[in-house]
Amino acid sequence: MLRVGLTGGIGSGKSAVAARLVELGAVLVDADQVAREVVAPGTEGLAEIVATFSSAVLDADGALDRAALGALVFSDEAARRRLEAITHPRVRARTAELVAAAAPDAIVVNDVPLLVEVGLAPTYHLVVVVQTAVPTRLERLTRDRGMDRAEAERRIAAQADDARRRAVADVVVTNDGSLAALHAAVDALWRGRLQPYEHNLRQRRVASPAARGDAAEVDASWPEQYARVAARIRHALAPADLRIDHIGATAVPGLATDDVIDVQLAVPSLADADGPLAERLAGAGFPRVPGHWWDDPRPAGRGRWEKRLHGSADPGRPVRLHVRAVDSPGWRYALLMRDHLRADPDRRATYLLLKRDLVDSAPHVGDSGTARDPWFDEEYLRAEQWAAQTGWRP
């Protein structure tokens, strides 16, 4: 099933987004509700809290007095960690139960206010952040929740800021307008990305690439997008600690190219790329591309450099995941060419002109490695000279 993490600062309207997703058919797991459930009267969680912090944290009806408990742990780091050791495992276990109960084709949305702070982003196929201007949030908190302004400001300051949330966000839903506008944005996300992503994930199918524009562009967020992809791959393959690298044109700053993130995963041997590893990647949203795949060697005429190729099931984030044996010629070549182009502005400019000429003369082969063979053979020799002169190592 597709697992979506939903978060946003207090007063951002995250609950309105969650409600709309439920109306569209999503299964909602509300972290705040689960956190209350595992410490409800009669639960083992509440009994352990009382045993740890005394009955002073109970109200007159025997339920947890959250204000009293908060006063005990707010400024006491050790106390807060003891509380988390009681509640967090229970929240995780109950969340897992709710997710497991969902249908195999469900889109499960986890509403997690502290998703960023706790570092949960890599555990989801997609992270949606609801973002709203701070003045608007302050107005909502004072008007709708009756907070005084100082308390609202304190609550906002205690959470991650917008920059930290954007760093983990695959989708940012802006909620500075009307409810109708918010619903329209959520509906478009549901139809255009979440539903096709779920279908592709269930079918273990790479998303069809979007139609290409007239010209390649530079996107300064490519490294940040790569970091999110790599974090998901790393989480999916844990506890294995395999090397993951950003390669290809999107890994070279300032180089205009197609909006596809190329990632290289190093495995001990290609036999290790099959079986459980391939299935873990597919479950994380990176299914294998059918067929046999290889790289043309440099210089030409040395046979083929075999690899495995995976792609992204997410229609909104094209990815090519090249799985190569560590220390193999293809693995080394991808890193060498990336680093050489990063280090030499003149070679970047030459490569960019070549690519534009190829697209202008024959758009249908603009991405063909064969069409660029002569230039790449020469560039490979230049890169090897640069590596020898600088002492470069992959």
Report the pLDDT averaged over residues 267-291. Answer: 95
The rounded distance, in Å, linking the Cα atoms of 252 and 366 is 18
Lowest mean pLDDT among 28-37, 264-273, 351-360: 351-360
Q: Report the pLDDT value the prediction gives residue 235, as an integer from 0 to 100.
A: 97
Q: Is the pLDDT of residue 371 over 50?
A: no
Q: Report the pLDDT value the prediction gives residue 358, as an integer from 0 to 100.
A: 55
Q: Is the pLDDT of residue 365 over 80?
A: no
The rounded distance, in Å, linking the Cα atoms of 228 and 117 is 15
Q: Report the pLDDT value the prediction gives residue 324, as an integer from 0 to 100.
A: 97
Lowest mean pLDDT among 105-119, 206-220, 332-346, 360-374: 360-374
Give me the chain's average pLDDT, please: 89
- Classified as helix, coil or strand, 369 is coil
Tell me: the pLDDT tens digits for 325-335? 999 999 999 99
Picking from 313, 278, 284, 311, the residue whose alpha carbon sits closest to that of residue 3 is 284
Report the pLDDT averaged over residues 335-339. Answer: 95
**Sequence-ordered list of residues with C-beta below 8 angstroms from that of 235, at least 6 positions apart, any chain:** 122, 123, 284
Q: Is the pLDDT of residue 369 over 50?
A: no
The pLDDT-based confidence of 71 (bands split at 50, 70, 90) is confident
The rounded distance, in Å, linking the Cα atoms of 337 and 369 is 14
How large a percentage of the chain has pLDDT more than 70? 92
Report the pLDDT averaged over residues 259-274. Answer: 95
